[in-house]
Structure 1
């Protein structure tokens, strides 16, 4: 799971580091794992011998499939690649610096967007083939952000004339079609669950709409995810009964998670400066640490002044994927954290 459009891999290599985009008390508590002797470990993900740089950006909820990007350098030629790990096996597909991956489901289907002919076009990679997805005629760009087990895809489109966003659904049972989700105006749909629930944020493109997080239930009911003080709320990621994001304005916001069953808020550990993802257990992932509910667990692998780590996504079994960036960018996996 991962819900943002990243900078190009080449830009990350040039800069030498990757940057991540980017509570109030409640009555619910996040599920936590009992303390054990399990060690939090980091391991590199395998890459083909001719692929020199890479990163892991998304993992499916079961922890089986991992999606990322790599770079093959042959002389003066640099070729970006789409990478899909299934256990120790890695599949390589050609990509380009303007293609961004957003999510992968439990069957290894990847979705994302690509900048083509001056606009962002939605795509899907499955069974070894890249397929372009349709987009409404009214939008100037489209970005898939989430996919469930059956293959339903959600995201948003940008309406340039009104400077607003449309929440979009690409239904698996109606191939070649795209629909506008019945949701609050000016919204981005960010995640779709296996039961058809959709989570998103209104005010996705700014403008006059106050940012408001929401969940659309399978019966069409829409519940707003609020915070004390009626402040703006936004979603970063969601899985199972949990969503994570924040409340407040830029520069003055509080990170929080919501229990989607009750709507109650649960504080994010104050030592976590940002949120990247959340799994079905309510475990919140930051870029360099994990909020287990009862404790903050730093991710190993960083070396001050030499190696930077960046975590991007967490599976329901606790597997975390990301990268290390020292002399080169390398895809990694954390476990037991």
Structure 2
């Protein structure tokens, strides 16, 4: 899919205008949970990613003596769970999965990984860097993330460089065509190879001030709402971006949806949007209801009330995360269908 740029994008980019959202919230739909199975010996877990064909990925864990944890990567497909284990003995953070079942993420260090043949393998760290965070994978097998370095002028804090691990298996490459000041992080990848990038204005910045959509060496800056000082980009799907912005105070975050032309809007009552699917269904936190909620483009569509944490909007229309079904119960990987 090519990302279209129209005259209205240029106007928004110059003015920082925000498209007003007047659509009222729809009546809250009922959301029915389904609890996914867990591997033996791992009684807790969560969904943190979904593929384009109805599968999910995330983690499962057990609390051991001394309140430490063993955390392993897992994949769910056709109602079955696969334990992918750890990277060596390191606990995992799972950030993405594609239709072919490749699961990606990272461990402390940081070191990036992908799954192959039922286990995790480390991705190569780009030359000249000390580590890598992996943030996403598309159905072609392209993997994106950020290489990590700690230059003397920023030590002990790290800076980041957006990186692509091509599906061909060739060496990872840094993304070109982005601003040369400050630094940037790759946050997500779309099915057509477009990468969502956060830009930080200085090497010692802790918050991003701009988002870019990068493809094949060309980067397009997204317009921020007029009340934006800092911005976070969480998800990219079918040309749409979900995220959040903060005003000068640094508090009172608000959810933002950038449409396929790069025009931002405020979905009704959203504090943030964490994930968006191909059809424009997003999930995040609703200040209007004090719960997790879903939106269809600008309109709130459903609320979730059973002690959830919901971070995934899947292409099959479900949303997913984890929940505690009753007081004292384990935290279970959960998928909700709303409607």
State the distance in 2 between where 1:200 and 1:73 align. Answer: 35
**1:180-223 C-alpha deviation (Å, 9 max, x unpaired):** 011234111111222221111111886258621010134x3321
Would you say the 8 A contact 1:144–1:153 is kept in 2? Answer: yes
Pair 1:276–1:204, CA change in 2 (3 A): farther
What's the CA shift for 1:159?
1.9
Q: Of 162, 170, 175, which aligns to 2:165?
A: 170
Instruction: Check if 1:195 corresponds to 2:192.
Output: yes
The aligned counterpart of 2:120 is 130
The aligned counterpart of 1:148 is 138
The aligned counterpart of 1:114 is 107
Pair 1:73–1:234, CA change in 2 (3 A): closer
State the distance in 2 between where 1:134 and 1:231 align. Answer: 35
The aligned counterpart of 1:90 is 81
Pair 1:255–1:204, CA change in 2 (3 A): farther
Matches within 5 A, 1:1-80: 25-26=18-19, 39-62=30-53, 64-72=54-62, 79-80=70-71
**1:40-85 C-alpha deviation (Å, 9 max, x unpaired):** 21111122454311111111133x2211211257899964322110
**1:146-187 C-alpha deviation (Å, 9 max, x unpaired):** 1110110111122210543100110011x1511101123411
The aligned counterpart of 1:99 is 92
Instruction: Check if 1:184 corresponds to 2:179.
Output: yes
What's the CA shift for 1:123?
0.7
What's the CA shift for 1:24?
6.9
What's the CA shift for 1:111?
0.7
The aligned counterpart of 2:263 is 264
Would you say the 8 A contact 2:30–2:302 is kept in 1? Answer: no
Would you say the 8 A contact 1:200–1:215 is kept in 2? Answer: yes
State the distance in 2 between where 1:130 and 1:244 align. Answer: 29
The aligned counterpart of 1:305 is none
Would you say the 8 A contact 1:226–1:233 is kept in 2? Answer: no
Unaligned runs of 5+ in 1: 1-22, 303-307
The aligned counterpart of 1:223 is 220
Would you say the 8 A contact 1:227–1:265 is kept in 2? Answer: yes
Other structure's SS at 2:273 match: coil
State the distance in 2 between where 1:242 and 1:28 align. Answer: 16
The aligned counterpart of 1:254 is 254
Q: Normalising by structure 1, what TM-score?
A: 0.78
Other structure's SS at 2:144 match: strand
Q: Pairwise CA RMSD of aligned residues?
A: 3.1
Other structure's SS at 1:274 match: strand
The aligned counterpart of 2:8 is none
Instruction: Check if 1:291 corresponds to 2:295.
Output: yes
Unaligned runs of 5+ in 2: 1-15, 286-291
State the distance in 1 between where 2:162 and 2:50 align. Answer: 23
Other structure's SS at 1:275 match: strand
State the distance in 2 between where 1:210 and 1:276 align. Answer: 16
State the distance in 1 between where 2:98 and 2:22 align. Answer: 27
**1:275-332 C-alpha deviation (Å, 9 max, x unpaired):** 21111222221152112232341114x2xxxxx2101211122111111134211111
State the distance in 2 between where 1:114 and 1:205 align. Answer: 26
State the distance in 2 between where 1:269 and 1:51 align. Answer: 38
Other structure's SS at 1:251 match: coil
State the distance in 1 between where 2:237 and 2:308 align. Answer: 24
State the distance in 1 between where 2:91 and 2:82 align. Answer: 20
